[in-house]
Each structure stands twice: as structure tokens, then as C-alpha cells.
Amino acid sequence: MYLRMIMMIVLLAIIMGQPFSTKDYLKRMNWVAEHKMEEAIYNLTDYDDLCFSFDTKISYDDSMSMAVSEKCIYKVEDMAELKKKVSRTESRVDKIFFVIDYTMEGGNAVQDGLKAAMMERNEHVYEDDQYCIVGLQ
């Protein structure tokens, strides 16, 4: 009786453990790691929020990132363009987030200075080794 129960538990453990050692499972885990920033945007933002960045962009053409984040990231060149875009939609916007990509540092000195100022003055709502998302005041 007990032997049968132990054999059944061992068999279930072997069957349940099998998917975690397959290549498909490892591919799915890599996919999750590739889309950390998109998942953070999904978890942090609501329908009435906007996201901007100097270097990262999620548009309707980027269907996988758009599907994960359910939000566009609009690319801007400078603070004047950011203020212009925000002023057009100010009545409908709840929060504004700015995505900073650490891997894109060193391209434009003005943008790098603005990124550093944003990171210093605003709340970091998400940060990992590649991205920082700040909530603009």
C-alpha cells in the first residue's frame, strides 16, 4: 500500500519535473528576460499614462513589445519636444513616465545630461541593469 503511494509520488515528480528541463522552457525563460522593461511598463502604467524616451521606442510596428507592454513609448529628441507633446495631451494624461536605456549612453551629450538630471530629480519607479523608468513630476 505505502510502496504504491511512494511509487505514484515519484512518478508524478518525474512527470512534473520534465517540462522544466526542456529547451522550450528555457526559450520561454529567455523571452521573459528579454521583455523585462515591457512588463514593467505594463505593471506600472494605466490607460491614461504616457511614456517617452530619448533612445527606446515601442511603436505599433513592434508588435511583440507592444503586446507585452500594452503601451507605446514615444521617442523625443529633446525637452522642448517632450513639453510640446505633453502640452497637447495634458488634459487626458494622468502620469508621464520616461524610459532611460543604460546601454545607449554616450551618444548625445545633451541627452545624457538630461537623463542624469531626470534620474536625480524624479522618482525611480523601475530599475534594472539595462533600463530605468522614472515618473516625471
The DSSP-derived string for 15-27 is HHHGGGGSHHHHH
What does the pLDDT look like over 78-137, one tens digit per residue? 888 888 888 887 777 888 888 888 777 656 777 778 888 888 888 888 788 778 888 876
**Cα gap 105→121, rounded to integer Å:** 19
Predicted TM-score (pTM) of this structure: 0.67
What does the pLDDT look like over 10-30, one tens digit per residue? 777 676 665 555 556 555 555
Q: At what angle do helices 36-44 and 23-34 cross, to 10 degrees?
A: 60
What does the pLDDT look like over 60-83, one tens digit per residue? 887 778 888 888 888 888 888 888
Q: How many residues does the chain have?
A: 137
* Per-residue confidence (pLDDT) for residue 30, from 0 to 100: 57
* Per-residue confidence (pLDDT) for residue 18, from 0 to 100: 56
Q: How confident is the model at residue 54 (pLDDT cuts 50, 70, 90)?
A: confident
Helices (H), the chain: 2-17, 23-34, 36-44, 63-69, 79-89, 109-121
| Residue 124, C-alpha cell as written in the block | 525611480
Q: Three-class SS of residue 75?
A: strand
* Per-residue confidence (pLDDT) for residue 8, from 0 to 100: 82
The residue type at 134? V
Average pLDDT, the chain: 78
- Contact by Cβ (8 Å): 97, 51: yes
pLDDT beyond 80 at 39: yes
